[in-house]
Structure 1
Amino acid sequence: MMNRTEAPLIMYPDFNYDYGDDDSPCDLGSAKIFGEKFLPVLYSLVFVFGLPGNMLVMCVLIKYKRLKNMTNIYLLNLAFCDLLFVLTLPFWAYFAANEWIWGDVFCKIIIVADMLGYYGGLMFIILISIDRYLAIVHAVSLARARTVRNGIISSIVMWCVATFASLPTMVFNETGSIDGRKVCHTFYPGENPLSWKLFILFKDNVLGFFIPMVIMVFCYARIIQTLLKNKSYKKYKAIKMIVAVVIVFFVFWTPYNIATFLESLRELEVLTGCQLHIHLSIAQQVTESITFIHCCLNPIIYAFLGERFRLHLCRLFHSCLSPSLKYEACDKFKFSSRYFVTSIRSQSSGGDESSTFM
C-alpha cells in the first residue's frame, strides 16, 4: 500500500519536481483537500462492512468447520488477513483528515498489521485458487496432497512471503514532521530515495497484481474446462461463480495498478507536468481505496455463497436467538433440526467443500 504512508508527499507542494521554465513548485493542494474529504469516509465504510463479514467467516470456520481440510485453513487465513487490514482503517481515516497522534511505536504496529493484511490477503487468494484447481482438475491424482498438514505448511510459507514483501515499508515507516504536521510516513533512506520508491511500485505491480492474476486465470480456466466435461447440472452455477471471482478481482485491482504504473513513469520523468501530477495523485487515492472494498467482498465470494457455509452461518445465528424466536427463524430459513443433522451427515460423507467449488 502506498498512499496512506506516503500521503504527505502528495498533500504538499512537490519541491523536487523539474518544472522547466516555470520555477514555481507544483501545488498539490487540490489533491490534499480531496484526500481529507474522501478518504476518511471510504475508510470508515470499508471498516463498517468489512469487520462483521470477516468476523462471521472466522467464527463459523472455528466453531463448525474445525479446519479439517486445506480449503477451510485458507479461508480462515484470508478472513484473518482481511480483518487485520480493516482494523487499521479507523487510524488511517483519522490520519487522512488530521495528523498522526499515536506515536512512533503504534505507527510501526499499524503499518505491520496493514501490510501483512494486504499482502497476506493476496497470498491466500492465490492459495485458494490453487486449492480449487487441485480439487477439481486433479481431484484423483492429487487428492492426498490436499491435507491439513500441507495446508498449514503452505500457509506458513505464504505468511513468510507476505512478510518479506512488506519489509521495506515496515522498516522505513516511522513518525516525523512535514510542514509542521505529524505523520506516520515511509521515509526512504539515502540521498536518492527514488530507487526505493520505484522498487516498491514495481513490487506492488508484480507481486500484488500480475502474479495473482496470472495464477487465477490459469487455475480457473482449467477448472472451467474440467467442469464443462462434467454432466452435473450444477456446473453452470460453478462456472458463473468462477467468472465472478476473476471479474471482481480484475475490476477492483486493475485501476490501482494502472495508476501505480503511471506513477512509476512519472518518477522516471517519462510523464511530466504539474496537472498530470495532481490528477495522478487523486487517481492513486481513489483507485487504492477501491481495492480496499475487495476485503468486504471476500467473505461473500469465497464463503457466504457456499451452500454449506450458509447452513453453518444460519446455525450460528440460530444458536444466538432466544428460545421463543428459534422456531420462527427455522421456519423462515427452512432449516429445521432434521435438516441440520442431514446436511452435516451429507457433508461428512459427501467430500470436500471445494469439490462443488463453493
Structure 2
Amino acid sequence: MIFTQYPNDFWHERKIDNFDPYNVLTVQCNTITINNFCQHFLPPFYYVIFIASVLGNGVVLLVLYKFEKLNTVTNIFLMNLVASNLIFTLTLPFQAIHHSDQWIFGEALCKLVTSADYLGFYSSILFLTLMTFDRYLAVVHCVVANKRRRSCYAVVLSAVVWIISVLASLQPFIHFTVEEYPMEGLVCEDFSDAQWRVFSLYKQFVLFFILPLTAFVYCYFRITLTVLATRMVGKHRTVWLIFIIVLMFFAFWSPYNIILMINENQDLTQCNSSLLYAQYVTSNIARLYFCINPVLYTFLGRKFQNHVRGVLVSQVPCLSDRISIGASSRALNTNYIYIYKTQPTNQ
C-alpha cells in the first residue's frame, strides 16, 4: 500500500504492492518519502530479480536436462518448483512498470498478472514443503519409501499442489481491478471488503507460513538425527547444509509474515511510516527468495556444483585448467543427502 497526496491536503490511500493486498491503513498519513522510495527503488529491484531468476532457474533446468533423469521423484518436484518460480518471475516486469508510472495493461492483465503472482508464490511454498517431506521419507523411512516412491506418486502430488495453488489464487483474480486516480493515474489494486482481506491474511499466514515452517523444522530435525546416527562420511557438512536450508526459509519468509500480523493488529488511529517501510522491504526480500530458491538449494550441493563445472568446461575449454571437476556423482552423494539427490533408477 502507499499514500499519495491530493490537492487541498486530502490524503488518498492506495496499495502499491500486489504481493500484499491485505492491510489498509485508514488514517491520514504523510508518506511522500515512501512514495518516492517505492517509485525509484522497486522497478530496478524487480528487473534485477527478473534477470537473476531467469538465468538461475535456466541453469537448473539445463543441468537437469543434461545430467539427470527427468522422471525421478526428486527431479519432477524440482522441475515443478522451477516452473512455479518462473511464473512468479514473469510478473515482475509488469509490476516494475506499474510502480514506475501507472498500470497501462488493462483490467484483464491486471487480474491475470496478480493471480499469476499469487499462483507462483503459493505453489513455490507448497513444492518446497513437498520436497522437504519427500526428503524426510527417503532418509528417515528409506526402506518403505524406496518401495512406494514412483514417478506417478510425484505427478499426482504435483497436480494436487497446482490445484490448491490455483484455488488459493482465485481471490485476487476476482477482486483486483483497475481504478483511475487524479494524481497516480491508472492503478491495479484490490477492491475486496475488509472481511475478505482478513480471511486472505490468515489463510496465507496459516497455510503458507506456519504449516510449511513446521514441516521444515520437523522433517529436517528428523533427517539430522538420522544422519548423525549413521557412519556417513561428511555427516557434519550435511547437518550444516540442513541448518542453512531451514535458516534461509525462516530468514527470508518470516519477517514479511510477522510484519503483516503486526500491521493487522496495530492501532488504526496512528500512522507508522517505519512499519510501511518494513513491509515493503520484507515483502521484496520474500520475492527475492521465491524467485531464486531452486538456485540457492541446488548450488549448495556438491553434485550440482560438479555438474555446473562440467558445463562450464565443455562450453569454455580454456577454463579446464582453473576448474576442477569432482571424481564421481556416486562419491559426492556419500557426502551429501539433500533435495537434489539422484533417485533409484526404478523411480
TM-score for both structures, normalised by structure 1? 0.82
- Cα–Cα, structure 1 residues 316 and 119, in superposed 2: closer, same or farther, change >3 Å? same
SS in 1 for 2:189: strand
Q: Which amino acid aligns with 1:334?
A: S
Give the partner amino acid of 1:184: C
Structure 2: 5+ residue stretches without partners: 2-14, 343-347
Could you say which residue in structure 2 is the equivalent of 1:226? 226
Q: SS in structure 2 opposite 1:280? A: helix
Counterpart residue number, 2:186: 182
Q: Does structure 1 conserve the Cα–Cα contact (< 8 Å) formed by 2:299 and 2:305?
A: yes
Q: 1:137 deviation in Å?
A: 0.4
Q: Which digits, 9 at most, give the CA deviation of each residue in 1:41-83, with x for residues without a partner?
A: 3222222322210111122223332313111111111112112
When the two structures are aligned, how many residues end up with a matched partner? 328
| Corresponding residue SS for 1:275 | coil
Residue 177 of structure 1: SS of its match in structure 2? strand
Alignment check: 8 A CA contact 1:82 1:118 kept: yes
* Structure 2 residue 45 is matched with structure 1 residue 42: yes
Whether 1:307 and 2:309 are equivalent positions in the alignment is no
Aligned mates of 1:355, 1:47 — CA distance in 2: 24
Say if 2:17 is the partner of 1:4: yes
From the superposition, tell whether residues 196 and 133 of structure 1 become closer, same or farther in structure 2 (CA, over 3 Å): same
> Kindly tell me: are residues 90 and 223 of structure 1, through their superposed partners in 2, closer, same or farther at Cα, counting changes over 3 Å?
same
1:275-333 residue CA offsets vs partner (Å, 9 max, x unmatched): 32x332222111101111213541333212222222333333344x2xxx42x333332
Unmatched segments (≥5 aa) in structure 1: 18-24
CA deviation string 1:201-224 (max 9, x = no partner): 111211221111000001000001
The answer to whether structure 1 residue 273 and structure 2 residue 269 are counterparts is yes
TM-score w.r.t. the length of structure 2 is: 0.85
**One of 284, 289, 294 as aligned partner of 2:289:** 294
Deviation at 1:251, TM superposition (A): 0.8
Residues 1:194 and 2:194 aligned together: yes
Counterpart-to-counterpart distance in 2, 1:8 and 1:300: 28
CA apart distance, 1:262: 1.4
Matches of 1:29 and 1:6, distance apart in 2: 21
Q: Deviation per CA, 1:186-214, whole angstroms, max 9, x where unpaired?
A: 221xxxx1101111111121122111100
Q: Is 1:103 the equivalent of 2:98?
A: no
Which structure has greater helix proportion?
1
**CA offset at residue 131 of structure 1?**
1.0
Q: Among all aligned residue pairs of Structure 1 and Structure 2, give the percentage whose two residues are the same amino acid.
A: 32
Give 1:64's match in structure 2, choosing from 48, 67, 84. Answer: 67
Which AA in structure 1 matches 2:202? F
Alignment-derived partner of residue 248 in structure 1: 248
CA contact (8 A) 1:256 1:287 kept: yes
- For 1:61, the aligned partner's letter is L
Structure 2 counterpart of 1:76: 79
Distance in 1 (CA, whole Å) between partners of 2:164 and 2:20 is 26
Aligned twin of 1:210: 210
